Amino acid sequence: MTDPGEALSSWRDTPARQAIVDYVGRAVQEGGAQYVPPSERIAVFDNDGTLWCEKPMPVELGFILQRLAEMAEQDPSLRSRQPWQAARDKDYAWLGGVITKHYHGDDSDVKVLLGGIVQAFAGMSVDSYAELAGSFLLTTPHPTLGRLLRECTYLPMVELLHYLEAHGFTTFIASGGDRDFMRPVTEDIYGIPAERIIGSSTGLRYQDDDAGGSLVYQAEMDVFDDGPLKPVRIWSRTGRRPVVACGNSNGDIPMLRYAGHPKCPGLRLLVLHDDEDREFSYTAGAEKSLEQARAQDWTVVSIKNDWSTVFAEPLMG
């Protein structure tokens, strides 16, 4: 099982792949100095920019903008207010700046955007939201990559998830994106079921009725799961310190630092977006994580150099 030949076939034979294979080989070797018991084999993955493409804008943002634009169509008073204005006018400059500013420590526009997001789905049941999100991901094309959004997962990372599972690891997603947005598709695209999706969340309220009641979104954020909240949420959900962590931005630093321990060796992977031909090339929002990777000897995964294939063949032509 530790032969990665077929399992990691979209990875080139580089030091990054070797670091993964070596780590897993040591972790499963009973009696070895770096053996990790199966119950401790917890692997956590960021989603946007780590498991699926986040450019030209995060997938979830497209979903929200579609909804906000619909709201602005119905209610003219929203058309001069952010984020409805940007959504309706397709003002990508304003929108693109939100995430970059966040990674540089300025959350003022994040708050404006979140203010719109929580109103976008307030009063909707979790079941209706799941249907909308799943349908959006199944049917919407990526703006530039010539494939559906759900096909914008990185094939080498999907292989890595399966490789880890095959070696007794339990994989979780620990994303800054909305937990319930991902859940309708994660089992299908990653093999990770709903109960192993950790992420940001909107406030929920139980609303009773004659059919057992339902859970309804409130017009308020619950948790924005990024930065130092990632380890908190991972513990809250798993009750364990992970040993494998993989991210791609400054918001993943605490999660990466938290993975492993002097008594229990860890593997920390940082995806570097350096392939403008096959994906995108950017380090905005990842500068500090790249510094830490160098200082802490984390494994940097270069899309350009370490992956022979980035995406699986698309279904659409």
Closest among 238, 243, 184, 244 to 59, alpha carbons compared: 184
The least CB distance from residue 39 to a copy of itself, in Å, is: 7
Is 27 among the residues that bind a copy of itself (CB under 8 A)? no
Residue 127 backbone class (left: φ over 0; alpha: ψ -120 to 50; beta: rest): alpha
What is the chain's length?
Answer: 317
Is 57 among the residues that bind a copy of itself (CB under 8 A)? no
Q: Which residue has the tokens 């084999």?
A: 41
Which of 3, 6, 30, 195 binds a copy of itself (CB under 8 A)? It is 195
Give CA–CA dist 217/67, Å, rounded.
Answer: 15
Of the listed pieces 20-28, 65-73, 75-83, 234-242, which binds a copy of itself according to CB under 8 A?
A: 234-242
Q: Are the beta carbons of 174 and 255 closer than 8 angstroms?
A: yes
Question: Cα angle at 86 between 108 and 273, to 5 degrees?
Answer: 70
Which of 90, 261, 278, 294 binds a copy of itself (CB under 8 A)? It is 261
Q: Which residue has the tokens 């977006």?
A: 273
Is 288 among the residues that bind a copy of itself (CB under 8 A)? no
Q: Which one, 39 or 77, has the nearer CB to a copy of itself?
A: 39
Is 193 among the residues that bind a copy of itself (CB under 8 A)? yes
- Give the DSSP letter of residue 312: P
The least CB distance from residue 227 to a copy of itself, in Å, is: 9
Q: Which one, 62 or 242, has the nearer CB to a copy of itself?
A: 242
Give me the half-sphere count of Cα atoms (radius 13 Å) on the Cβ side of residue 100: 12
User: Residues near 15 by Cβ (< 8 Å), separated by ≥ 6?
Assistant: 299
Is 260 among the residues that bind a copy of itself (CB under 8 A)? yes
Is 201 among the residues that bind a copy of itself (CB under 8 A)? yes
Residue 270, helix vs strand vs coil: strand
Q: Which one, 116 or 254, has the nearer CB to a copy of itself?
A: 254
Is 5 among the residues that bind a copy of itself (CB under 8 A)? no
Q: Which two tokens stand for residue 286?
A: 């990842």
- Give the DSSP letter of residue 252: G
User: Residues near 240 by Cβ (< 8 Å), separated by ≥ 6?
Assistant: 39, 40, 42
Of the listed pieces 28-36, 48-56, 102-110, 175-183, which binds a copy of itself according to CB under 8 A?
A: 175-183
Residues of this chain, 204-223, that bind a copy of itself according to CB under 8 A: 204-206, 208, 211-213, 215
Is 259 among the residues that bind a copy of itself (CB under 8 A)? yes
Is 313 among the residues that bind a copy of itself (CB under 8 A)? no
- Contacting positions for a copy of itself (CB under 8 A): 39, 126, 170, 179-180, 183, 187, 193-197, 201, 204-206, 208, 211-213, 215, 228-232, 235-241, 254, 257-262, 266
